[in-house]
Amino acid sequence: MGLADRDYARETPTNGRPAKRAARVSHRFPAYVILIMVCAAIFVIDMMLPKVEVQASDWQVMQGKEQAFQDLRAAKAPVTLMRDRPNPVGVGYVYVVPGNLPPQVAMSVDPIARAEYMLVSPLRAYLQFTTAKALWSIDPTDGMQGGEFWRFIGYGFLHVGLSHLVLNMLGLWFFAPIVEDRFGRSRFLAIFLVSTIAGACLYLVLNAMGIAWLKMHGPGSTLAGLLFNDPYTPLIGASGGVYGIILAAAWLRPDAEVLLFFVIPMRLRTLAIALIALSVLSLLQQGNNAGGEAAHLGGAIAGWWVAQRPHLVDGFFDFFGKRQTSSGTYQRPAKGSLRSAPATAEVDRILDKVRDKGLGSLTDKERATLRAASDAEERNSRDRNGNGHGGRS
């Protein structure tokens, strides 16, 4: 798309055709609205489904049973699992008893290890992110578990409560239109999902490093910035993706005014910097939600980075072959077939500035960028149509 094709870069449509295209786009259901509806629907389903047990902590060896536990794992011997009654908030313990024993007999045998379990819906048990389930873990008989990579995305559609859901969806409602209007539905969704994945990845890396640190230096030794929580501690929420969208919007519209808490006016760029600073501070101070802040930070970094290189996510949804367009199968132009032009995100930012503040607000560098983009688009058009140096075969 060239500069002349952007609806807000001209005052009157040519032959009525751009106006029709704009009308079609305006009637399409925005992707961020669909995303909000999906998250809300999953929240309701999650609340309604019956509860199942899911492991909520690593195995804790009972005092004096360390050698017995090691022998059990080395021999890969059968075990019997006994569960106590969960407390009012749905948390209980599962105990490991050596041998394949009837329940009546197992109750009279001293357990050698135990782990917490929680009662959650099957949906949450399947989607929530934990280091143990997404990466790897070992059960009492030394069996390997993990590698459940769908959790890197699935956790972003879960929420622990109504306020958690509402806050994240408000973030999408206010900031997602900036990103979707600029990049389109597919790129917007790709940025959200990439940010969600990046949030889980940073959480995973910091948690794995924290666990390794404890194994090397012993309990009680900490290092600022690492996560020392249990590998079965769940990560839940769309915040990583939302932070990615906020940072992408801040890159596109840094001077846009927003109202913090619906009262305090500030620039979007200032809000983004403040959110990043709070996440870093909470992570360094090992706050109560340090794991969540790690996901926020990972998502924000990904959103900011991809917003400057949106072409990198063009093939995000091309899982089953080449991308299809209305004119057939999409093929990437051959290397060197198109002349280089300024980055799309930078051109779009300048055009936003023109729309908001007029041509007089542009710097000499910004004017030069617009001229270069226009010239490159004109040359590329001639090359494609055979009107310039190239030709049709």
Give the domain-ending residue among 259, 289, 313: 313
The verdict on pTM exceeding 0.85 is no
Mark whether 63 and 183 lie in a shared domain.
no
Mean pLDDT throughout 60-70?
A: 89
C-alpha distances in Å from residue 187, one per residue of 32, 265, 304, 363:
11, 29, 13, 29
Do 219 and 300 lie in one domain? The reply is yes
Q: Please name every residue paired with 61 in a beta bridge, in sequence order, or none if there are none.
A: 113
Residue 375: alpha-carbon gap to chain centroid: 37
pLDDT (tens digit, 9 = 90+) per residue, 89-126? Answer: 889 999 998 888 888 888 888 899 999 999 999 999 99
One domain for residues 189 and 271: yes
Alpha-carbon distance 247 to 353, whole Å? 18
DSSP state of 130: -
Residue 369 belongs to some domain of the structure: no
Nearest-angstrom CA–CA distance, 34 and 166: 15
Cβ-count burial 205-235 (b if 16+ within 10 Å, e if not): bbbbebbebbeeeeeeeeeeebbbbbbbbbb
131 in any annotated domain = no
**Per-residue model confidence (pLDDT) at position 261:** 75
CATH number at residue 272: 1.20.1540
pLDDT tens by residue, 22-55 = 434 444 689 999 999 999 999 999 999 999 999 9
pLDDT tens track for 175-214:
999 999 999 999 999 999 999 999 999 999 999 999 999 9
Are 69 and 168 found together in one domain?
A: no
What residue type is 282 in one-letter code? S
- Residue pLDDT, tens place only, 339-375: 445 567 777 778 777 777 777 777 878 877 877 777 6
In the numeric block, which tokens belong to residue 224? 């600022």
393 part of a folded domain: no
Residue 315 confidence class, pLDDT cut points 50, 70, 90: confident
Over range 294-311, report the average pLDDT.
Answer: 94
Q: Are residues 169 and 112 both part of a single domain?
A: no
Together in a domain, 56 and 39: no
Mean pLDDT, to the nearest integer, of 58-86?
Answer: 87
pLDDT, residue 101, reads 86
pLDDT tens for 2-24 read: 333 334 333 344 444 444 444 34
Record the tokens describing residue 56, joined without a space: 């909520």
Per-residue pLDDT tens over the stretch 189-198? 999 999 999 9
Q: What domain range includes position 101? A: 52-120
Q: Which ranges constitute the DSSP H helices of the chain? A: 17-27, 31-48, 66-75, 103-106, 122-127, 131-134, 151-154, 162-183, 185-217, 239-252, 268-284, 290-307, 344-357, 364-385
- Considering its fold, how many domains does the chain have in total? 2
Residues 201 and 305 in one domain: yes
68/168 same-domain check: no
